[in-house]
Amino acid sequence: MIHECLIVGGGLAGLTAGIRCAEAGLKVAVVSGGESALTFASGSIDVLGSIPGQPVVRRPFDAIDCLAELSPGHPYAKIGREKVFQSLGWFHGQMAEVGLELGLASDCRENQWRITAAGSLRPTWLSQPATKAMPWECFHGDGACLQKVVFVNITGFLDFMPELAMCGLKQHPSFRSVAVEHFNINLPLEHGHGATADTMRAPQLASAMGDRDMDILARVLSERVQDAELVVMPACFDPDLGCNRLQKLRQRTGLNIIDIATLPPSVHGLRLHKALRNRFRALGGFLIPGTEVRHGTVDGDRVMSVSTGEDLLSADHFILASGSFFSKGLQSVKESMSDPCSVQEPVFNLDLHSWADQPKDFSSHQFLAPEGQNFVRSGVALNQSGQPMVAGKGLHNLHVSGAVLGGYDPVQECSGGGVAISTGWQAAENVICQVKGQQV
């Protein structure tokens, strides 16, 4: 079968592009080599949380213009803030269609805060679970709207450390006068078949808990933390999209309970991945899992096909959403110990962003360097027409989205999810426009 669009990569960017193409009625396939980075993700969607030299970003879409001035090669600069906002709003609606409700701040153009498993605070735009966001002002100043926060773990569960989270949160200036406590709750794990929590990761723990466990949680929480404005627990409640045990626990206790992603695999990330796949399939998209694309065939300014090593897959249009180093969408190459590292895009050998041409700045010896790691900014470069290039020549029917793109730092900027979604959506819009134009 020859598809109108073939997408290489089944992560956030690739499935976003696939959903938009399928929604427009295109014959679209997504080729996925395995589990995406979403398995390791928080399940929240960051748009923009930080710009160098400026305070934490409260209104991410408004800040895109400033970011574009500082970094004209940034993916957001090429898309524009209103299209970024449009694509993120569309994505929010698509996830709701398959039962994944993602939480927004009361002002939909503002960030909200999420607490990490280490107790740090990160600005994000969409959050799991879809609880009412804490006002932005709670985390600036004296934290007056919160008097007590309690971290609660399941006894023996090793992938969440409430003591660490408590210490991390107390380091934030807004929480120095807030009471922060922690304790564990013993559970029988009704469906654990005798296994204990210390042998489980978050998805297994979620499957092991039954009604009896939820009864114990509701009783102990009601007895011990009724005076807390916020209760923080590990994300081990709702592995399936139709599951709402956390919401029922909130209702039974009357507490504001949030669950946060722990060490991978992430329940929230898995839920997001499942929602994306379900929506793609519901719209008629064709998923080809467990298939690694090894290289592409280019003729002139067009991609003709991609090879898996066993099969050639042909299409009229292609979207490369293969991810960064984690997903092998980019590869670092070092010929010898004395040579500097270089970066390659392995499928088409596409031209890369200029950061990849500065091997002396490839990385910092400091893991959490304040300026970030420069190799993170490596990735595919686009010409003035938004096309990827091979040896300076643009490819007309190939579009690129997500972490394989260069010119931005998702870690420093808190922008990974927003870039993946907006560039995936824009790549799909470009394909739709080309296909509809050809049909006319």
The answer to whether the beta carbons of residues 157 and 189 sit under 8 Å apart is: no
Token pair in block for residue 24: 């427009």
Please report the pLDDT score of residue 369 as a whole number. 72
- pLDDT exceeds 80 at position 8: yes
Between the CA of residue 408 and those of 201, 419, 428, what are the distances in Å? 32, 9, 21
- pLDDT exceeds 80 at position 340: no
For residue 287, what is the enclosing H or E element? strand 286-288
Please report the pLDDT score of residue 440 as a whole number. 36
- The model's confidence at residue 273, banded by pLDDT at 50, 70 and 90, is very high
- The model's confidence at residue 393, banded by pLDDT at 50, 70 and 90, is very high
Please report the pLDDT score of residue 176 as a whole number. 84
What mean pLDDT do residues 111-138 have? 82
Question: In sequence order, what are the beta bridge partners of 299?
Answer: 302
Contacts of 300 (CB under 8 A, 6+ apart): none
pLDDT: is 370 or 72 the higher one? 72
Please report the pLDDT score of residue 357 as a whole number. 47
Fold observed for domain 3-94+271-439: FAD/NAD(P)-binding domain (3.50.50)
pLDDT, tens digit, for every residue of 81-100?
999 999 999 999 999 999 99
For residue 60, what is the enclosing H or E element? helix 60-70
Please report the pLDDT score of residue 130 as a whole number. 66
What mean pLDDT do residues 291-304 have? 95
Please report the pLDDT score of residue 426 as a whole number. 98
- The model's confidence at residue 211, banded by pLDDT at 50, 70 and 90, is very high
What mean pLDDT do residues 110-118 have? 91
- pLDDT exceeds 50 at position 303: yes
Most confident of 51-60, 78-87, 371-380: 78-87
- pLDDT exceeds 80 at position 409: yes
pLDDT, tens digit, for every residue of 217-237?
999 999 999 899 899 999 999
pLDDT, tens digit, for every residue of 375-390?
888 999 999 999 999 9
Token pair in block for residue 27: 């014959």
DSSP state for residue 134 in the 8-state scheme: P
Please report the pLDDT score of residue 342 as a whole number. 81
What mean pLDDT do residues 339-366 have? 75
pLDDT, tens digit, for every residue of 426-438?
999 999 999 987 6
- The model's confidence at residue 356, banded by pLDDT at 50, 70 and 90, is very low
Query: What is the full DSSP assignment across 408-431?
Result: --HHHHT-HHHHHHHHHHHHHHHH
The answer to whether the beta carbons of residues 60 and 418 sit under 8 Å apart is: yes
- pLDDT exceeds 80 at position 196: yes
pLDDT: is 302 or 358 the higher one? 302
- The model's confidence at residue 353, banded by pLDDT at 50, 70 and 90, is confident
